Amino acid sequence: MLKRIFPLLLLILTTSCVEDVDFEQAEDLSISPVLEASLIFFDFSASQFQEPTGTAFVVEQDELELDFFNEEFIQDNLVKAEFFFEVRNTIDRVFRADVIMYDVNGNVTHMFDILVTAGATSEVTETHTEVFEDALLDQLKNTTRMELILTMFPSISGIPLDDTSIGTIKMRSKATLFFEIDTQ
């Protein structure tokens, strides 16, 4: 009896197998998450731009170190990025926002600008999408510093800006980062 049962058991154990399975498929692993993150924002009122002559350019600028895009993970897996800006203006002046990006040696890697018309009678909304792909994406990955210059143009009608001036200029922006993470 035993002689009959053991071979049977052995048969069950040996015929049990793992069929039609290919573990090497794991090498094809590729996931493509898309992250969105807030970028720069501001909200300035007209009175903050003290311009008594009505004929001058007012230039405000600021810059920030940006080593985020140098991270190894970003370098390896970021395949596309989009910066989306929205500027809303109710000040009776034309504005231009310049974004200038620099690499570690201080060379400009990329620059772009957003021109916003005067919001005299009603609110003016300007949007801008900057797409980073291929060569431009590499430039973004080389970027370590970003400068933002906001320029207010002179008034066409020569009206100065003071504490009583009305209107605001607001900017909102976000980055959309497209990743492709694979095992290669």
Partner 1 sequence: MKKISIIIVFVFCCFVQAQNKQLLYNFTDIPQSLLLNPGAEVNFQWHIGIPLLSQIHLNAGASGTSVYDLFADNGIDFNEKLRRVVYSMDKNDFFVVNQQLEIFSGGFAIGPSYKKNKYLSFGLYQETDIHFYFPKDYAVLAYEGNQTNIGRVFDLSDLNAKGEVISVLHVGLMTKLNEKWTYGFRGKIYSSLLNFKSTNNRGSFVTREGTENFYDHTFDVDLAFQTSGITSLTDLNTSSEAVKELRKRVLFGGNLGLGLDAGFTYHPKEQWTITGSIQDLGFIHHTKDVETYELNGQYTFNGVNPLFPNDGSGQTAEEYWQEIEETFEDLFELDTISKKYVSWRSPKLNSSVSYKYGKKVLKECNCTADDGDYLNEVGLQMYAIGRPRSPQLALSAFYYRRIFNFLSGKVTYTVDSFSKTNVGLGISSHLGNINFYIMADNLLEYQNLAKANSASVQLGLNYIFPEAKK
* 2-35 burial code (b ≥16 CB/10 A, e <16): eeeeeeeeeeeeeeeeeeeeeeeeeeeeeeeeee
Task: Tell me how far apart the alpha carbons of residues 88 and 10 are, in angstroms, rounded to a whole number.
Answer: 78
71 vs 156, beta carbon nearer partner 1:
71
| CA atoms of 6 and 2, how far apart (whole Å) | 6
Selected range binding partner 1 among 28-36, 109-117, 119-127, 131-139, rule: CB under 8 A: 28-36
Overall residue count recorded for the chain in this entry: 184
Q: Applying CB under 8 A, which part among 57-65, 71-79, 106-114, 126-134 lies near partner 1?
A: 57-65
12 vs 135 by CB, closer to partner 1: 12
For residue 163, state whether it binds partner 1 (rule: CB under 8 A).
no
Segment contacting partner 1 (CB under 8 A): 58-66, 88-96, 130-138, 152-160?
A: 58-66
d(CA 43, CA 149): 15
φ and ψ of 2, to 5 deg: -60, -40
For the bound state, the minimum distance from the C-beta of residue 89 to partner 1, rounded and expressed in Å, comes to 15
Give residues in contact with partner 1 (CB under 8 A): 1-2, 5, 9, 12-13, 15-23, 25-26, 28-31, 33-44, 48, 60-66, 84, 148, 150, 172-174, 176-177, 179
